[in-house]
Structure formats: structure tokens, C-alpha cells
Structure 1
């Protein structure tokens, strides 16, 4: 997402989430409409940016994230703390945007922590949670009166959001309970020890009219959901597999081109290593020393392909959060994402090293002077890289920390190197360990 522009991100969402019955022009018009609606015209062609490269501002990034969801014209919009990391002015601008969307008939539901008063007064309905328990759900403009009836008096000029947090946290410096308020809550010193503030407020809320109205609404909604339960069994997709694969591959290629540092550095290192290999093993002869040198050349070429594939570990881990968000949002299937990574990232970055190493070393070192043998070695090195990358990707899918995934895949490759047959004669290994050679990617490639 970060290396693409705002317009490209919105176009990606439109391409995968809008039905194929809409033509390209209609989707472009939808994208432009969202850009105008969110006031993103000035930065429409600017990159969103990443943690390593500067892009649009935090407020513009939040609006872009909202725009990705508005592409489908949803009736309900869920947001998780849309003001986090924003300054007061930008946060207020984002909430004003959400307020305008609510006036257009959309239901906007979001979590927020300690908003300022100018934001709080925009709320229509307020839900307060304490220790995972519901202590209030009802009209926001009636919330102060509700807590006043419980004995909690809101002081003039005090931010209601801070006032509610003080109630939940039991902050006596901000809330002074008179004897009458204690009687209202029906608690004393002994029960305060046994019951938390959250439990007390929850029990009070369960007895009020707001709770009864909420239960009626939930029961009605539950009946409607039960009638349409078949709809929610699986995530619906607006486009077919090939369309998703096309757009995912296109985005991956753009990200690869937009961040050439990693790919360029990797290819430069491989080229440098290949030149060094060629210089070290150049012109081997058909004698005992030549056989030893050829085995060493096989070892370094195959091992370099495995070690080069370790970078695949970061391929999924760095995008795991984005993948989970887009998959749950119905952007694409898991299979489309997987094959797009193979086509647009793994294949170019694992194919070119094999071509470079073989082209620079095969005839320089002095392997069999036949064209078919040259291409057999090239294909073998490429397949080694594919197999090693697939193993690295499999390890990465089960890990969330890059360092742990790197450690695990390195351990796997070390065992494979030992049982490759290039460093030790496999016939001398204990019979009960011999089966491990069949798990080594390098063992099968050593016969090339």
C-alpha cells in the first residue's frame, strides 16, 4: 500500500470489491467521487508512504483508509480508533468527515479513547465499557444526565470523556461522591472491596430503560440474522480468481519497482558472489584437484541459492496485517494472494539469481561443454531457489516475528547442507539418520 499513490490504492479497492458488471469508466468515476468526498484531490497522486519512506500526512492516510471502505458504498462503517496518532486539529477534521458520512445515511461505528469535547459532541450514540463490561449504551447527549441520577455530578467546563474515564477508574480527585450518592449506588466500604466499579455500574445499567431498549433492538436483529444465516457462512467475493490474481500481481510488481533497494542490492550481491566464484574456480582440470573444485563449486552455488531465499521470510510477515485486513474485507481469496506472490515476487527474485550464477560460472569454471547441460544446471539452481523459498514462506506463515522465522529457516537449511552429500559421504552416516537425506533440497540437486 505504501509505495502506491492514493488514487492507485483506491483503484485497487474498486477493482476487487466492485462487481464486474461495472465497467472500467464507472469504477474510475467511483474512485474520483471518493477522492472529492474525502478532500484528497491535492494528494491523489502522492504515495501513501511507509515507516521508512515519507508519504502523505497522518490525517490524509486515515482518510485514505476510510476511502478504501467507502468505495463499495457501505451502509455500515466500522473503524478502530480513527484518531490514534493524530494531532487535535487533524483528529477533529477526520471526525467531522465521519459526521458528514452519517448525515448521508451511513451508520458509522468506531472505538475512541478520551476524545476532546469538540469531538464528543459529534456523537449520536455512546457506548461505555469498563473492564469488558457494558456500563452505558444510549444517546450521547443524555449520558451526563444518566450518571447524574447515579450520583456522579459533572463539573462545569470538564470534558465529558475525561469525566466518564474518571468514573470508570474511580478517580476520587475528579469525582467527589456525597453521602447521598453512596446511598444511591448502595455500596459501603465492605462492598467496595468485594465489587469493582465496573460491576456496580453494570448492575445499575441492567436495571435502566436504556438497557431494555437495547435488548429489544438486539433481539429483533438476532431474529433477522437467524433468517439470513446462510449469507454469513463464507466471505462473498465480487470478482473471480483470475481478476484478483491480475490486480494482486500488478500491485506486487509496482511495490517491487517502487522499492528497488532490496531487489537491486540482492541482485548486486549475487552478481558479485558469482564473479568471485568464477575467479576462484576458473579453469579447473580433469584431475583429482579438479573433481574436488567442482564439488566445491556445486556446494557454493546451491548453498547460495538457499541462503538467498531466506529473504522470502519477510515477504509475508511484513504484509500479514494488510493481508488479514483485506482478506476479511473480501478483497481476494487466499489462493489469489499466494499465487500473486509467487508470480510477481518469488519468481523474478529467485529466477534471476540462478540465471546470473549459471551464466557467469558454467563455462568459466569448466563444466561439461554442452548447451543442454548448461540449461539443466540453470534449471536445477532455479528449482533449488523455488523449493527453498517455498520452505521459507511456509515457515513465515506460522510466525509473527521475523527474527524467529529467520532462525527456524536457518536451522532447516543447516541440516539440509549436512545431508546434501557434498560435505560428508552419506554412506558413512548411521543408518538410522540416512532418511534425513530425503528431506534435503540440496541432496537431490547434488546429483546434477
Structure 2
């Protein structure tokens, strides 16, 4: 017995298997000719866990059920209600979902889809991931530099970029930063076109665009399809002015195939089943109204629960009886025969392996990622300028205040408090470092999955380019200004040792934020957790001036980043210092309490080793913490793709 979805499969193109383009789908670099994508009885299942914390139960849901079809050069639209089926089908065809839940066969020109198919085809997600702080040409150069083999010359890359700019009418905007939605969408398409892959997938490319911009985007896709490219995209209720450009239409609802075939034949197919079409109605709206059981597919606030349940129930009723009530097209048997012919003997050679391959070496990727990161930093000059001005003013105020408050009786205590303040500043300014990977998460997932770069290239290219100008530079400016105004140790060795300590402290503090932020979706969670940690640890670092306070909690210092930085700065500042005026015992005698005159005495009271090891042991601890936290960050990035099912 045939599949429950068989009656709705309609042929899109009339070619014999021998007419298919000769393309080596196992080529690790690229597919270069026209491509016909066919899918045969594909189903997709997901394991869903219950939300009850005490009773964790898992169940398997079938999201797609026995879907077959053929898509060739042209505009191939996937439509359906807002139940996630259309985007899921697109992602499955584009190899952007976990293959463990997939059954069935997906072929390219009658051959198995290669394991690195997602790297040899274009894909544009619904949410644009274009970097808006660099120009359109910069984005295209980045894509061409990392996705084209090293054997392609610079002149050839430049030629491809210029051709794409001309095709998409972007010549006048090539030096403009893509800030508007329309320009971002066209830039996304351009970044995929420079690779000249024959298949391009787009997830709802018109979402959030006005009618004029939507028309421009579809016109661009139309021009691409006329050059022999296979364009496959999901879309929600397009207007007729958009719908009339479609070559192939695929309707899915509740994971089932409702129609697949030439878009021009869809209206006749539905009317032949007895559904009445009004001439003034939009065909796309008419199809979705039929699938939804008479309900328009809109999202409105204020729907009652029973109305939503009735909507879902009627939709399932329609999809459940669809094969029974709909007529079988006269060419259904020919379609099934052609699909079986395309499948051929490939059932014996089925592989669910998915891999990401890169065509450029590590150092090449590292250089381009670092270069783009610095350009991204320079993309907001006014933000950097305001930040520096605020830091300079704050440093001058703090340094001046400590300078004016100096006196013989409290000289040593005031310096210790100032060093604690400098330690706290390094930590607090590093709290938002976790946003680095949270904000860039969608872009990283898309680019890595598409074969732009390896995780290692991204990790080592992003860290120095982002942390040095955004984290280390502001903290260094604040420390230097405060250092000289407040009159701290003026020796050359002491100054550079302090600068190195500040750098180690800032990087260690930022590493904590990065390790927590790499696996999160919301930056606020990371910021809150890191803030609580540093406030708690700075509190105990301040109390460490009195070693007899809460000895039961003394073990906490071993997990405190501020503790090691604070002790290193104290050791550098106080060792070899004398804070009492020479030959002036009368001035010292005016102090009510006992005055510590030498830095060594203070350090011994605090339990410091006066040897050089007493200083460098803190740096060793900071280095170990930094290495451990950055390793955790790297592992988080490696696991991120699996959690996101990319």
C-alpha cells in the first residue's frame, strides 16, 4: 500500500535520469553545476522531555511523516501553517538538523547527499547574521576568503564579488554598512552567492520586510534561479504579486505533505476537490485556509485556550483525512516511478553522517577572523570614545581623592584600600565579557556550520581581538592614571610589574565570564552570576586585611580571582617601602595608634612570603585559573552546535 501522502505528490520537472547533471556530490570542495534535489519518504522524529522537574519523562514525536518530492532549478517555495513544519522540512533538506531522527533518502542529482552538504550549499537563516559594523563589501570579502579554496586567486575572488554586487544591484551600496533589514537580507544572499553553490536554502526570507523590499528580494531570487540555481525557501502567506513567481510549491501541515508540484497547478488541484475559490482571493491565503480547516493562519493576542484547541483540532482533522478526500492526480503513478528511479540502488548506500569541512587552513582563518573582529570594534567609535572619557574622569577623581587624603598615620592603609579598589575595577569591568559569545552565538553557529572556519580558529581569533580593546585597554587606562596621580610606587620595575599583574587579573576575570557565557542564550544570566561572584569575593578580599576574621571561611580564598590579584599587587607595592618620615619621630608620635612603618612588616602580618615566590605564586594561580576557564569556554563552543541541532 502506498504512503498516506502519495496522492499529493506531483512532478515538478520532466527529465530522465540520464538528463541529470553529472555532479560529484562527494567532492569536498563544492558542487558547481545545476542540481536536482529529491527526497524520498523522509520522516523526522524528535525526543521531547517533559517540563516536570520531579517526573522527567521522554516521548518521541514524529514531526515529519513520509514526505517525498523533487526540487530542481527555479523557485521552490515551502508553505504551511505556523506549526514549524515548513521550517523543519527546509532545515532537514539543508542538513541543518540532527540526522539521528531522520529516516528516508535525500539525493542530489540521483546520488546520496554528501556528508558535508551543508558546506557545499548556501543557507540563509530567518534571523540575519550579517555583521552590521562592517561594509557590504567587507562581508562579501570575508565569505569569499574563507569559503573559496586557496587555489582561487585574489583576482578571481574580486571578480566573483563584483559580479554578485552587480547581480544584486549593490554596486552603489557596497561601501555602506548593512543596517536596514532589506540591505542585510541582500547582503546575506550575496555572501552565499560568491561561493557559486548550485543550491540555496532560505528560511522565511521575507519575514519583517515591507512589500517593496519583499518584492526586491524575490526578484533577486528569481534572477538567480534563471541562471540555473535551485532556490528552496520557506515563506508564510505571500501576496499574489510574489506567489506568481514560484515555480514549485510544497504545502506541509502537521508534518504531512498536503501538496507538491508546479505552483500554477495548485489552484486547480484544490478546486477539483470541491473547495470553492473566489476570484478576488489570494491563492496562498486560500490554500492555507483550506489546510487550517477554514481558519485564517494569523497570530492574534487575546485568543482563548478553547479557540486555540479548536483550531489545532480542526487542522489535524483536515490533515488526517487529506489522502482520503483529495483526488489522486492522473500523473501520480508516473511521479512515484520517477522518484523510485532516482532512488535506484542508493538504499544500499545510506549514510546519516554529517560533517563540517573547511577549504582554508587554520592560520588563514585566524587572520581573517582577527581582522574582522578589530573592524567590528572600530565600527562603534563613539561608544569607545564615551567609554574612555568616562574612565579618564573617574580615574582622575579617584586618584586625586586618595592623593588629598594621604597622611602619615593612614598612609599604608589608604594604599591598601586603593589597591583593593583597583582590583575591584578590573573584576567589575570584566563582568560583561560573557556577552562576547552570547551576542555572536547565532553568527558563529551559522558560519561554522557553513564551513567558514573551525572552532579553534574562531576561538583564538576572537579572544585577543575583542578582549584587548574592550576589556584590557579601559582597565589599563584607569589603572595608569590612578597610579600616577595617587603617587604609588614610582620605580620602573614596580610599574611594569603592576601593569603585568593588572593584565593577568583582567584576563582571568574575563575568562570566568566567557566560560559561563559561551553556553548561554541570555547575557543577563551570565552577568548576574559573575557579578554575584565578584562582589562576594571582593568582600572577602577586603576582610583579608584582618587575617583573624572568619577563619572558618578562609578556604574560599583559593577560589577567588580577586584574592590572587590583590595579594600580587600588595606584594609589588609594599615590599621594600618605608612609609614613615625619616628622622621625624614627632610627626609619627602624633598618631593615636601604632603605625606600621615598613611594607615588610605589613606583608608579614598578612602572612605573605617576602621572597619572590610570594609574588609569583599568585601569578601562577591566576594563569592556572585562566587556562582552566578558557578550556571550559572552548569545550562549551564545541558542544554548542550539538545542543542547537545544527
Same fold (TM over 0.5): yes
Q: Is the 8 A contact 1:3 1:258 kept in 2?
A: yes
Give 1:351's aligned residue: 472
> What does 1:111-190 correspond to in 2, within 5 Å?
111-171=234-294
More strand by share: 2
> What does 1:171-320 correspond to in 2, within 5 Å?
171=294, 196-201=317-322, 210=332, 213=335, 217=339, 220=342, 224=346, 227=349, 229=351, 232-282=353-403, 287-320=408-441
Q: Alpha carbon RMSD of aligned pairs, Å? A: 2.9
2 CA distance for matches of 1:342 and 1:99? 41
* Higher normalized contact order (CA 8 Å, seq sep 6+, divided by chain length): 2
**CA displacement, residues 356-386 of structure 1 (integer Å, 9 cap, x when unaligned):** 2343233443433421111111111111111
2 CA distance for matches of 1:296 and 1:222? 78
Give the count of matched residue pairs: 422
2 CA distance for matches of 1:291 and 1:225? 80
Give 2:175's aligned residue: 45
The answer to whether structure 1 residue 88 and structure 2 residue 211 are counterparts is yes
Give 1:97's aligned residue: 220
Gaps of 5+ in 1: 50-56, 175-191
Q: Is the 8 A contact 1:133 1:202 kept in 2?
A: no
3-state secondary structure, aligned to 1:428? coil
The answer to whether structure 1 residue 373 and structure 2 residue 494 are counterparts is yes
2 CA distance for matches of 1:290 and 1:170? 82
Q: Is the 8 A contact 1:277 1:361 kept in 2?
A: yes
Distance 1:343 1:212, change over 3 A: farther
Give 1:182's aligned residue: none
1 CA distance for matches of 2:337 and 2:449? 28
- Specify which of 504, 517, 521 is matched with residue 396 of structure 1: 517
3-state secondary structure, aligned to 1:282? helix
Deviation of the 1:447 alpha carbon: 1.4
3-state secondary structure, aligned to 1:127? strand
1 CA distance for matches of 2:165 and 2:315? 54
Please say which of residues 383-392 and 92-101 is displaced more in the overlay: 92-101
The answer to whether structure 1 residue 78 and structure 2 residue 208 are counterparts is no
Q: Is the 8 A contact 1:316 1:393 kept in 2?
A: yes
Deviation of the 1:283 alpha carbon: 7.1
Deviation of the 1:424 alpha carbon: 5.9
Give 2:527's aligned residue: 406
**CA displacement, residues 318-339 of structure 1 (integer Å, 9 cap, x when unaligned):** 2222222212111112222222
**CA displacement, residues 46-80 of structure 1 (integer Å, 9 cap, x when unaligned):** 1112xxxxxxx543332211111111101110001
2 CA distance for matches of 1:100 and 1:41? 17
Give 2:80's aligned residue: none
The answer to whether structure 1 residue 21 and structure 2 residue 151 are counterparts is yes
1 CA distance for matches of 2:347 and 2:142? 31
2 CA distance for matches of 1:107 and 1:367? 68
2 CA distance for matches of 1:223 and 1:240? 37
More helix by share: 1
Deviation of the 1:222 alpha carbon: 9.5
Distance 1:173 1:365, change over 3 A: closer
Q: TM-score, normalised by structure 2?
A: 0.60
Distance 1:128 1:66, change over 3 A: same
**CA displacement, residues 79-113 of structure 1 (integer Å, 9 cap, x when unaligned):** 01112222223322321221221222211000011
